[in-house]
C-alpha cells in the first residue's frame, strides 16, 4: 500500500471507531485511536496472512490482541482487511452480534483466535501458538499487542520469564506505551518504572518505536523487530503512542479510555477525520 | 449381587501417567505441560519419550493455562498437569477466558484432588474443584475411580474435541475396572443391580460404595451401585432409570456438598422424579493433615457413612 492509501485507511478506521462507540454509547475509543496506526500498519504491511480465515492459522502469521478492550480498532481493521463485511461494524456491542464488547471466538468472528478482555492472558497464548509453530516447522511469526497498564497483571511476567528461558524467538510482543489506564496515568496508579530495563533484565530483545502514531516509524521499527526474530531471544516492541490520537480533545488524557462521545463531540471528532474510503 | 475383588491397589495418577504415555506413542498431536510436578503427576515417561512435546512451565500455572490455549492453535492437543487446587481455583479466570470461552481443546489434568492428598493439609486439598469446573459452559468434568479407568479416560479425552477437566488422586486404591474397558464420556456404569436404593458414586467413593453394598446385602438391603465417572455431562437417564426401580438415592463424592455431584443429581431428580436423596460429601469445610484413610473416616467419606445414609434415605421413602 502507498503512504497515501495507508493514511486514508487510518483516517477511515478512526471514523469507524468513533461511530461504533458513539452508536452504542459504550466502548473504548482512547486506546483504540492510539493504536490505529499500529494495527493498520500490521494488517496492511507486516502480517503475512492466508486469504481464508482458519482458526489453526497454519503457514501464516498470527496476531493476538491481549488488551481486548480496544476491540473497536481491531474490528474495524479486520473488516477493512476483508475478514468480514464492513457493514457488520454496525452491530458492535448489540444483541446477537459477532462483535462483542470484547473480542471472542465464541461467536465465530473471522480474524479472532482467542477471547480477551480479562487482562494479562494474551502473552501466554501467543507463546503457546509460537511453540506450535515451532513443532509444525512453520516459519511464520506470532504477534501480540498489550496495554502498558496490562503489564501490572502478574501472568505477563510468568510469560516473559518463560519466553526467554525457552528461547521463544518467533514472537513479537508489542506494548502500547500510552502511559494511561482507567484510573489515571500509569505512573500514578502503579508506577512500573523502566519497562525497557525490565524486559531487558528478563533477556528480551527490545525495539523502541518512539512515535507509535507515525506509520513510517512503525513500519521501520517493526522491520527491525522482525529481523531480530529467530535469534534465540523473544522480541518486545515498546510502542509509544498517544491515547485518543487524531481527535484533539481526546488526546493526552485517560478520560476517553472507556467513554463514548456524545452527538456534538462525535461531530467535531469526525470533522477532524474526514471520510476517505467510505463509512460502513 | 456381583462381588468385586481386587488384586492390587494403585494410584489413579499413575493411571493418568500410563494413559498419557500411550497417547504420546499413538497421537503425535498430543503435547503435555507441567508446572513443576512432573513426578507427582507421573508424566516422566511421556517427557522421556517425547522431550520436544513436553513443556516444563515452572511454578506458573496461569502461564501454563494460557500456553496450553495457544498450543491448540495449529492443531495440538495439550494436556496440562498439576495438583487439582492449582489446576482450578488458582487459574479459574485463565481457564474461563482463554480455554472455556475460547473453546480451546485443552485437557486439564488434575491430581491430588480432595482430602486423600493427605498430610499436606487443606492448602492443597481442594474440595471445590468439581463445582468450579462444572459451572463453566462446555466444560466436561470427569472423576474416574481407579487406575484402569483413569488410564482409559486419559486416552478417551484426546478423542473428544473441547475442554475437559480430568480429576484424579494421590493414594493407592483398589483396581477393579477391567484393564481394557473402553471409557465412554458421559456414560455411567452400573456396577451392581439392586432394588432398594441407588448409590451414585464418583472417584474414590466408588470402591467405598461397593464395600457398602456388600455390607448392606448382608443386612438384607439390595443396593444398586452406579459409577458416575462423568459428572458433566451427567448420565441423567441412567440415574432416572435406577431410581424408578429403587425409589431413593445416595450420592457419594470426595468433594463439598456445595457444587458437587450430589447437587447435579438432585437437580435431575427434582426436575423428573423427586425421590429422597442423601449426600455423602464434605460438609462445607476445609480438610486437614492426616493419612488418607483417617481423613476419609473423619470427613464421612467411607463405606460406613454410605451405609448410614442408605438406612436414612430408605426410611424416608
Residue-wise pLDDT for B204-217, tens only, equals 999 999 999 999 99
Residue B235 and residue B101 share a domain: no
How close is the nearest chain B Cα to the Cα of A118, in Å? Answer: 7
Residue B213 and residue B126 share a domain: no
Tell me the domains of chain A and their CATH numbers: 3-271 (3.40.50.970)
Q: What's A100's DSSP letter?
A: -
B183 found inside a domain: no
Number of separate domains in chain B: 2
pLDDT tens per residue, range A190-221: 999 999 999 999 999 999 999 999 999 999 99
Q: Is A227's pLDDT higher than 90?
A: yes
pLDDT score of B209: 98
Show the cell assigned to A175: 506494548
Q: Among the three residues B174, B208, B223, which one is the final residue of a domain in this structure?
A: B174
Closest CA to B190 of B130, B240, B261, B134: B240
How much is the average pLDDT of B260-283?
Answer: 98
% of chain B residues with pLDDT over 70? 100
Give residue B144's domain range: 9-174
* SS3 assignment, position B106: coil
Closest CA to B76 of B27, B20, B22, B29: B29
B245 found inside a domain: yes
Angle subtended at Cα B233 by Cα B227 and Cα B239, rounded to the nearest 5 degrees: 45
pLDDT tens per residue, range B241-257: 999 999 999 999 999 99
Q: List the single residue in A114, A118, A132 with the smallest CB-CB distance to B93.
A: A118
Residue B164 and residue B45 share a domain: yes
Residue B217 and residue B138 share a domain: no
Residue B94 and residue B155 share a domain: yes
pLDDT tens per residue, range A142-183: 999 999 999 999 999 999 999 999 999 999 999 999 999 999
* SS3 assignment, position B220: coil
pLDDT score of B189: 98
pLDDT tens per residue, range B128-164: 999 999 999 999 999 999 999 999 999 999 999 999 9
Crossing angle for the helix pair B12-26 and B147-157, nearest 10 degrees?
40
Angle subtended at Cα A28 by Cα A23 and Cα A34, rounded to the nearest 5 degrees: 120
- What residues of chain B lie within 8 A of the CB of A138, using their CB? 74
Q: What is the pTM of this model?
A: 0.97
How much is the average pLDDT of B171-176?
Answer: 98
How close is the nearest chain A Cα to the Cα of B71, in Å? Answer: 4
Q: What CATH number is attached to the domain comprising B220?
A: 3.40.50.920
What is the number of other CB atoms lying within 10 angstroms of the CB of residue B187? 12
How much is the average pLDDT of B6-14?
Answer: 97
CB contact under 8 A, B74 and A57: yes
B184 found inside a domain: no
Residue B65 and residue B170 share a domain: yes
B251 found inside a domain: yes
What is the number of other CB atoms lying within 10 angstroms of the CB of residue A231? 11
B278 found inside a domain: yes
CB contact under 8 A, B71 and A159: no
B254 annotated active-site: no
* SS3 assignment, position A62: strand
Show the cell assigned to B13: 495418577
Q: How many Å apart are CA A49 and CA A15, to the nearest integer? A: 25
Show the cell assigned to A55: 482458526
Residue B168 and residue B21 share a domain: yes
CB contact under 8 A, A58 and B52: no
Residue B28 and residue B168 share a domain: yes
Is the CB of residue B133 less than 8 Å from the CB of residue B162? no
B2 found inside a domain: no
How much is the average pLDDT of A126-138?
Answer: 98
Residue B170 and residue B237 share a domain: no
The interface predicted TM-score (ipTM) is: 0.97
Query: Chain A to chain B, count of Cβ pairs less than 8 Å apart?
Result: 118
> For residue A3, how many C-alpha atoms fall within 13 Å in the half-sphere facing its CB?
6
Q: What CATH number is attached to the domain comprising B152?
A: 3.40.50.970
Q: Among the three residues B150, B174, B198, which one is the final residue of a domain in this structure?
A: B174
Closest CA to B111 of B78, B132, B88, B137: B88
Show the cell assigned to B290: 492426616
* Chain A CB within 8 Å of residue B74 CB: yes
Q: How many Å apart are CA A6 and CA A46, to the nearest integer? A: 12
> Is the dihedral angle over the CA atoms B93, B94, B100, B102 positive or is it negative?
positive
Residue B205 and residue B252 share a domain: yes
When scoring B32, B54, B70 by the number of chain A Cβ atoms within 10 A, the one with the most, hence best to mutate, is B70
CB contact under 8 A, B74 and A136: yes
Residues counted in chain B: 317
Residue B292 and residue B257 share a domain: yes
Q: How many Å apart are CA B17 and CA B153, to the nearest integer? A: 11
pLDDT score of B1: 84
Q: Among the three residues B174, B200, B222, which one is the final residue of a domain in this structure?
A: B174
Amino acid at each position: 500500500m502507498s503512504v497515501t492509501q495507508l493514511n486514508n485507511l487510518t483516517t477511515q478506521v478512526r471514523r469507524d471507531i468513533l461511530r461504533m462507540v458513539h452508536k452504542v454509547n459504550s466502548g473504548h475509543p482512547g486506546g483504540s485511536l492510539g493504536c490505529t496506526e499500529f494495527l493498520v500498519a500490521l494488517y496492511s504491511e507486516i502480517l503475512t496472512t492466508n486469504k481464508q480465515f482458519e482458526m489453526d492459522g497454519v503457514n501464516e502469521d498470527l496476531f493476538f490482541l491481549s488488551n481486548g478492550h480496544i476491540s473497536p480498532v481491531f474490528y474495524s481493521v479486520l473488516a477493512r482487511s476483508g475478514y468480514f463485511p464492513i457493514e457488520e461494524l454496525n452491530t458492535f456491542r448489540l444483541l446477537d452480534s459477532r462483535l462483542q464488547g470484547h473480542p471472542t471466538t465464541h461467536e465465530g468472528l473471522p480474524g479472532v483466535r482467542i477471547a480477551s478482555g480479562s487482562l494479562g492472558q494474551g502473552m501466554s497464548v501467543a507463546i503457546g501458538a509460537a511453540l506450535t509453530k515451532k513443532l509444525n516447522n512453520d516459519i511464520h511469526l506470532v504477534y501480540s499487542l498489550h496495554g502498558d497498564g496490562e503489564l501490572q497483571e502478574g501472568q505477563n511476567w510468568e510469560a516473559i520469564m518463560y519466553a526467554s528461558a525457552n528461547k521463544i524467538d518467533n514472537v513479537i510482543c508489542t506494548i502500547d506505551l500510552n502511559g494511561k489506564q482507567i484510573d489515571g496515568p500509569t505512573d500514578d496508579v502503579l508506577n512500573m518504572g523502566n519497562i525497557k530495563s525490565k524486559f531487558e533484565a528478563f533477556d528480551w530483545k527490545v525495539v523502541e518505536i518512539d512515535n507509535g502514531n507515525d506509520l513510517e516509524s512503525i513500519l521501520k521499527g517493526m522491520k527491525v523487530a522482525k529481523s531480530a526474530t529467530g535469534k534465540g531471544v523473544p522480541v518486545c516492541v515498546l510502542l509509544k503512542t498517544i491515547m485518543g490520537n487524531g481527535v484533539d480533545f481526546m488526546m493526552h488524557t485517560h478520560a476517553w479510555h472507556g467513554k463514548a462521545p456524545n452527538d456534538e463531540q462525535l461531530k467535531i471528532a469526525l470533522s477532524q477525520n474526514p471520510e476517505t474510503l467510505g463509512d460502513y | 449381587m456381583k462381588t468385586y475383588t481386587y488384586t492390587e491397589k494403585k494410584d489413579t495418577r499413575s493411571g493418568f501417567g500410563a494413559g498419557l504415555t500411550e497417547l504420546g506413542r499413538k497421537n503425535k498431536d498430543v503435547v503435555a505441560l507441567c508446572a513443576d510436578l512432573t513426578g507427582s503427576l507421573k508424566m516422566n515417561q511421556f517427557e522421556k519419550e517425547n522431550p520436544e512435546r513436553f513443556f516444563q512451565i515452572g511454578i506458573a500455572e496461569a502461564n501454563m493455562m494460557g500456553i496450553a490455549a495457544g498450543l491448540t492453535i495449529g492443531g495440538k492437543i495439550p494436556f496440562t498437569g498439576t495438583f487439582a487446587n492449582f489446576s482450578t481455583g488458582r487459574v479459574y479466570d485463565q481457564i474461563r477466558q482463554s480455554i472455556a470461552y475460547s473453546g480451546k481443546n485443552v485437557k486439564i489434568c488434575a491430581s491430588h484432588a480432595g482430602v486423600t492428598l493427605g498430610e499436606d493439609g487443606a492448602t492443597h486439598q481442594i474440595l471445590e474443584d468439581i463445582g468450579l469446573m462444572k459451572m463453566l459452559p462446555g466444560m466436561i468434568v470427569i472423576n474416574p475411580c481407579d487406575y484402569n479407568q483413569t488410564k482409559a479416560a486419559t486416552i478417551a479425552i484426546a478423542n473428544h474435541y473441547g475442554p475437559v477437566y480430568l480429576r484424579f488422586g494421590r493414594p493407592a486404591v483398589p483396581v477393579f475396572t477391567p484393564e481394557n474397558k473402553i471409557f465412554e464420556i458421559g456414560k455411567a456404569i452400573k456396577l451392581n443391580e439392586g432394588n432398594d436404593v441407588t448409590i451414585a458414586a464418583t472417584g474414590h467413593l466408588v470402591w467405598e460404595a461397593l464395600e457398602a453394598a456388600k455390607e448392606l446385602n448382608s443386612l438384607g438391603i439390595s443396593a444398586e451401585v452406579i459409577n458416575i465417572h462423568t459428572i458433566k455431562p451427567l448420565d441423567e437417564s441412567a440415574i432416572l432409570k435406577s431410581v424408578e426401580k429403587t425409589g431413593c438415592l445416595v450420592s457419594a463424592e470426595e468433594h463439598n456438598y456445595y457444587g458437587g455431584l450430589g447437587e447435579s443429581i438432585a437437580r435431575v431428580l427434582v426436575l423428573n422424579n423427586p425421590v429422597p436423596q442423601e449426600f455423602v460429601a464434605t460438609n462445607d469445610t476445609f480438610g486437614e493433615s492426616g493419612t488418607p484413610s483417617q481423613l476419609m473416616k473423619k470427613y464421612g467419606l467411607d463405606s460406613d457413612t454410605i451405609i448410614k445414609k442408605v438406612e436414612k434415605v430408605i426410611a424416608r421413602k
